[in-house]
Amino acid sequence: MEQYRTRPAQYGPRRDRPRPPLPPQAKRGAGGGSVRTARPPGQQRRPAPVRRPAPAPAPSAGRMPNPRLTGLGSGLFCAVVMFLLGALCAALSGASLTAYGVLFLPVCVLTALWVRRGDLMTAPVVVPIAFAVGLLPVAEGDGGVGGRLMGLVTALATQAGWLYGGTLIAGLIVIVRRIRLVHRRRTAGARTPV
């Protein structure tokens, strides 16, 4: 008695010879799209390979951090840093408004660089507000709320050059980033086929 070798049903029927390829007319449907060919009964579809994203590169020690802040986050960052710098200037240099103005410029640059693309236009808006918030510990006043407010208005008037300069720097950085973003989108749109 002969015994025939059998395969489990899960593997499907055995193919001894490959199918001949279909002519190009058979591969297209009536509308010009491709037609799916039916699989033989019992043949299972192979699962698609899983593509995993590449691991993020480790930050190098020599690079600056590159956070992306929202509009609110950039406003909070700028206001808190300017308040702390104002308190530091008041403690160390006896309320030097010039030192405060000089420290304001790098904060403007960082705020404009770190704000995310969707909130670019918020950087030139939050920078002057943060300048005024940071002046609270630096501004000199006679005492009381009215005297403190008068000292703040006087400091804003006398230090308007630093305020305008920092706002201008933030605005220029934002404009350059926006132009680069629009240029990248246009080149990416030109590369993709229609």
Question: Using the 8-state DSSP alphabet, how is residue 65 labeled?
Answer: P
What CA–CA distance (Å, rounded) separates 72 from 79? Answer: 11
Burial (0-12, 13-18, 19+ Cβ within 10 Å), 76: middle
At 159 the pLDDT is: 87
At 40 the pLDDT is: 62
At 125 the pLDDT is: 93
- Contacts for 148 with CB less than 8 Å, ≥ 6 apart: 136, 139, 141
At 84 the pLDDT is: 94
What CA–CA distance (Å, rounded) separates 169 from 106? Answer: 9
176-179 contacts: CB < 8 A, separation 24 or more?
Answer: 177/112, 177/113, 177/117, 177/120, 178/120
What CA–CA distance (Å, rounded) separates 156 from 146? Answer: 15
Q: What is the pLDDT along the chain (194 residues), one digit of tens a residue?
A: 666 666 555 555 556 666 777 776 665 555 555 555 556 666 666 777 777 777 766 656 566 567 788 889 999 999 999 999 999 988 886 768 888 999 999 999 999 999 988 888 999 999 999 999 998 888 877 777 888 888 888 888 888 999 999 999 999 999 999 999 999 888 887 776 65
At 3 the pLDDT is: 67
At 41 the pLDDT is: 64
